[in-house]
Amino acid sequence: MELREHAIDAARERELDARAVDRLVFFSDAVIAIIITLMVLEVRLPVLPEHVGEAEVLRAILALWPKYLAVVLSYLVIGLFWTLHHRRFNWVRRVDATLVWLNLLYLLAIACVPFATSLTAEHPGRTSTIVYAGVLGLATMISGLLWRHVGRRPEIMASATASREMHLATLMSVASAGVFVVSIGVAFSSSNLAQYFWVLVFFANRAARYVYDWRHAGDRAAPDA
Amino acid sequence: MELREHAIDAARERELDARAVDRLVFFSDAVIAIIITLMVLEVRLPVLPEHVGEAEVLRAILALWPKYLAVVLSYLVIGLFWTLHHRRFNWVRRVDATLVWLNLLYLLAIACVPFATSLTAEHPGRTSTIVYAGVLGLATMISGLLWRHVGRRPEIMASATASREMHLATLMSVASAGVFVVSIGVAFSSSNLAQYFWVLVFFANRAARYVYDWRHAGDRAAPDA
Amino acid sequence: MELREHAIDAARERELDARAVDRLVFFSDAVIAIIITLMVLEVRLPVLPEHVGEAEVLRAILALWPKYLAVVLSYLVIGLFWTLHHRRFNWVRRVDATLVWLNLLYLLAIACVPFATSLTAEHPGRTSTIVYAGVLGLATMISGLLWRHVGRRPEIMASATASREMHLATLMSVASAGVFVVSIGVAFSSSNLAQYFWVLVFFANRAARYVYDWRHAGDRAAPDA
Amino acid sequence: MELREHAIDAARERELDARAVDRLVFFSDAVIAIIITLMVLEVRLPVLPEHVGEAEVLRAILALWPKYLAVVLSYLVIGLFWTLHHRRFNWVRRVDATLVWLNLLYLLAIACVPFATSLTAEHPGRTSTIVYAGVLGLATMISGLLWRHVGRRPEIMASATASREMHLATLMSVASAGVFVVSIGVAFSSSNLAQYFWVLVFFANRAARYVYDWRHAGDRAAPDA
Predicted pLDDT at C7: 67
Is 50 exceeded by the pLDDT of residue C225? no
User: What is the 3-class SS of D61-95, one letter each residue?
Assistant: HHCCHHHHHHHHHHHHHHHHHHHHHHHHHCCECCC
- Cβ pair C34:B29 closer than 8 A: no
Is 90 exceeded by the pLDDT of residue D110? yes
- Closest by Cα among C172, C182, C162, C165 to C203: C172
| Predicted confidence band of residue A54 (pLDDT cuts 50, 70, 90) | confident
Residue of C nearest to B54 (CA): C127
Neighboring chain B residues of C78 at a CB cutoff of 8 Å: none
CA distance D69 to chain C (A): 18
Neighboring chain B residues of C64 at a CB cutoff of 8 Å: none
Average pLDDT for residues A159-176, to the nearest whole number?
A: 84
Q: Encode pLDDT of B1-58 as tens digits.
A: 456 666 666 776 777 777 788 889 999 999 999 999 999 998 888 888 877 788 888 8
Nearest to C44 among D97, D111, D115 (CB): D115
CA distance C220 to chain D (A): 24
Residues with Cβ < 8 Å from A118, sequence gap 6 or more? A42, A67, A70, D44, D45
Separation of alpha carbons A168 and A197, rounded Å: 23
Predicted pLDDT at C223: 44
Is 90 exceeded by the pLDDT of residue D36? yes
Average pLDDT for residues A89-102, to the nearest whole number?
A: 88
Is 60 exceeded by the pLDDT of residue C220? no
Nearest to A83 among B26, B100, B108 (CB): B100
- Cβ pair D115:C41 closer than 8 A: yes
Is 70 exceeded by the pLDDT of residue B80? yes
Predicted pLDDT at B2: 57
User: What is the 3-class SS of A93-146, one letter each residue?
Assistant: CCCCHHHHHHHHHHHHHHHCHHHHHHHHHHCCCHHHHHHHHHHHHHHHHHHHHH
* Distances, alpha carbon C106 to alpha carbons C35, C146, C215, in Å: 13, 8, 28
CA distance C53 to chain B (A): 24
Neighboring chain C residues of D38 at a CB cutoff of 8 Å: 37-38, 41
Nearest to D29 among A27, A97, A115 (CB): A27
Q: Encode pLDDT of C187-217 as tens digits.
A: 888 888 887 887 788 788 888 888 888 887 7
Gyration radius from chain D CA atoms: 22
Query: C4 or D70: which carries more pLDDT confidence?
Result: D70
Neighboring chain A residues of D40 at a CB cutoff of 8 Å: 108, 111-112
Instruction: Compute how many other C-beta atoms are within 10 angstroms of the C-beta atom of residue C166.
Output: 22
Is 50 exceeded by the pLDDT of residue A221? no
Subunits next to C (3 or more Cβ pairs <8 Å) are: B, D
Average pLDDT for residues B89-107, to the nearest whole number?
A: 90
Interface test with B, best of A15, A27, A40 (most B CBs within 10 A): A40
Predicted pLDDT at C84: 87
For chain C, the first-to-last Cα distance in angstroms comes to 47
Q: Cβ(C102)–Cβ(C142) under 8 Å?
A: yes
User: What is the 3-class SS of chain B, one letter each residue?
Assistant: CHHHHHHHHHHHHHHHHHHHHHHHHHHHHHHHHHHHHHHHHCCCCCCCCCCCCHHHHHHHHHCCHHHHHHHHHHHHHHHHHHHHHHHHHCCECCCCHHHHHHHHHHHHHHHCHHHHHHHHHHCCCHHHHHHHHHHHHHHHHHHHHHHHHHHCCHHHECCCCHHHHHHHHHHHHHHHHHHHHHHHHHHHHCHHHHHHHCCHHHHHHHHHHHHHHHHHHHHHHHHHC
| Predicted confidence band of residue C136 (pLDDT cuts 50, 70, 90) | very high
Model ipTM? 0.83
* Distances, alpha carbon B10 to alpha carbons A36, A162, B20, B155, in Å: 35, 19, 15, 15
Interface test with D, best of A41, A105, A108 (most D CBs within 10 A): A108
Question: In chain C, which residues touch D (CB < 8 A)?
Answer: 25-26, 29-30, 32-34, 36-38, 40-41, 43-45, 48, 52, 54, 57-58, 61, 72, 75-76, 79, 82-83, 86, 90
Is 80 exceeded by the pLDDT of residue C78? yes
CA distance D114 to chain C (A): 7
Average pLDDT for residues C14-20, to the nearest whole number?
A: 77
Helix (H, G, I), strand (E, B) or coil at C122: helix
Average pLDDT for residues A120-145, to the nearest whole number?
A: 91
Predicted pLDDT at C199: 79
| Predicted confidence band of residue C9 (pLDDT cuts 50, 70, 90) | low
Amino acid identity, position C132: Y
Neighboring chain B residues of C14 at a CB cutoff of 8 Å: none
Sort B22 into a burial class: Cβ within 10 Å, 0-12 / 13-18 / 19+. middle
Q: Encode pLDDT of B139-196 as tens digits.
A: 999 999 999 999 888 887 777 777 888 888 899 999 999 999 999 999 888 888 887 8
Question: Which of A172-181, C110-119, D189-198 is predicted least confidently?
Answer: D189-198
Residue of C nearest to B29 (CA): C27
| Predicted confidence band of residue D8 (pLDDT cuts 50, 70, 90) | low
Query: C18 or A174: which carries more pLDDT confidence?
Result: A174
Average pLDDT across chain D, whole number: 85
Separation of alpha carbons D201 and D178, rounded Å: 9
Separation of alpha carbons D116 and D67, rounded Å: 12
Neighboring chain A residues of B115 at a CB cutoff of 8 Å: 41, 43-45
* Distances, alpha carbon C95 to alpha carbons B194, C21, C22, C89, C146, in Å: 34, 6, 10, 10, 11
- Percent of chain A predicted with pLDDT > 90: 31
- Cβ pair D76:A104 closer than 8 A: yes
Residue of B nearest to A75 (CA): B108
Predicted pLDDT at B3: 62
Separation of alpha carbons A199 and A143, rounded Å: 19
User: How many Cα atoms are found within 13 Å in the side-chain-facing hemisphere of C82?
Assistant: 28
- Cβ pair B29:C16 closer than 8 A: no
Question: In chain A, which residues touch D (CB < 8 A)?
Answer: 16, 19-20, 23, 26-27, 30-31, 34-35, 38, 97, 100-101, 104, 107-108, 111-112, 114-115, 118-119, 122-123, 125-128, 131
Separation of alpha carbons C194 and C196, rounded Å: 6
Residues with Cβ < 8 Å from C203, sequence gap 6 or more? none
Sign for the CA dihedral angle at C65, C68, C74, C80 comes to negative
Predicted pLDDT at D142: 96
Chain mean position to CA B113: 10
Predicted pLDDT at A2: 57
Is 70 exceeded by the pLDDT of residue B223? no
Cross-strand partners of B157:
B92
- Cβ pair A29:B31 closer than 8 A: no
Separation of alpha carbons A204 and A199, rounded Å: 9
Nearest to A37 among B19, B34, B128 (CB): B34
| Predicted confidence band of residue D3 (pLDDT cuts 50, 70, 90) | low
Predicted pLDDT at C4: 64
Query: C63 or C3: which carries more pLDDT confidence?
Result: C63
- Cβ pair D79:A127 closer than 8 A: no
Sign for the CA dihedral angle at B55, B56, B61, B66 comes to positive
Neighboring chain B residues of C107 at a CB cutoff of 8 Å: 36-37
Predicted pLDDT at D29: 93
Residues with Cβ < 8 Å from A55, sequence gap 6 or more? none
- Closest by Cα among B181, B166, B180, B171 to B209: B171
- Element containing residue C199 per DSSP (H, E): none
Interface test with C, best of D17, D28, D34, D119 (most C CBs within 10 A): D34
- Cβ pair D34:A34 closer than 8 A: yes
Its pTM stands at: 0.87
Output DSSP code: residue A190. Answer: -
Question: Which of A6-10, A12-16, B74-78, C133-137 is predicted least confidently?
Answer: A6-10
Neighboring chain D residues of C92 at a CB cutoff of 8 Å: none
Separation of alpha carbons C64 and D115, rounded Å: 12
Average pLDDT across chain A, whole number: 85
Interface test with C, best of B15, B40, B89 (most C CBs within 10 A): B40
Amino acid identity, position B191: S
